Amino acid sequence: MSKFQVVAVWRDKWITVVLLVLLGLLQYRLWLGKHSIPDYHALTRQVEEQSQQNANLAQRNALLEADINDLKIGLEAIEERARNELGLIKEGETFYRILPAEAN
């Protein structure tokens, strides 16, 4: 094989070598670099968790808003809350407490 034949073979192969090196670099960046596929999956999980937390907080806010509206609208809600949370007993009412039987 002459010197010119070797140069001609490498001249034809250098494009392939360069393309393979570029492909390797791109694959490295895709799997291990910044903004890679594992990073994408981790961010997707974080978004799902945050969406769940937001849904829970939205439900809690709706319940609190309903309580606020009840308290603004009527005295019955205030009275019910005082009875349940503070043990309020009206004048003239009799309070009965039923205790469970003791198991012997």
Convert the pLDDT of each residue in 30-79 to its tens digit: 778 788 888 889 999 999 999 999 999 999 999 999 888 877 887 777 78
Q: Is residue 55 part of a domain?
A: yes
Q: Is residue 45 part of a domain?
A: yes
Asked if residue 20 and residue 38 are part of one domain, the reply reads no
Provide, rounded to the nearest whole percent, the portion of the chain with pLDDT above 90: 24
Asked if residue 46 and residue 77 are part of one domain, the reply reads yes
Q: Which domain holds residue 11?
A: 1-33
Q: Cα dist. 67→55, 71, 82 in Å?
A: 19, 6, 13
pLDDT of residue 3: 63
Contact 15, 22 (CB under 8 A): no
Confidence of residue 8 (pLDDT cuts 50, 70, 90): low
pLDDT of residue 97: 75
Q: How many domains does the chain have?
A: 2
Asked if residue 39 and residue 28 are part of one domain, the reply reads no
The owner of tokens 């140069």 is 7
Residues 6+ apart with CB under 8 A from 79: 88
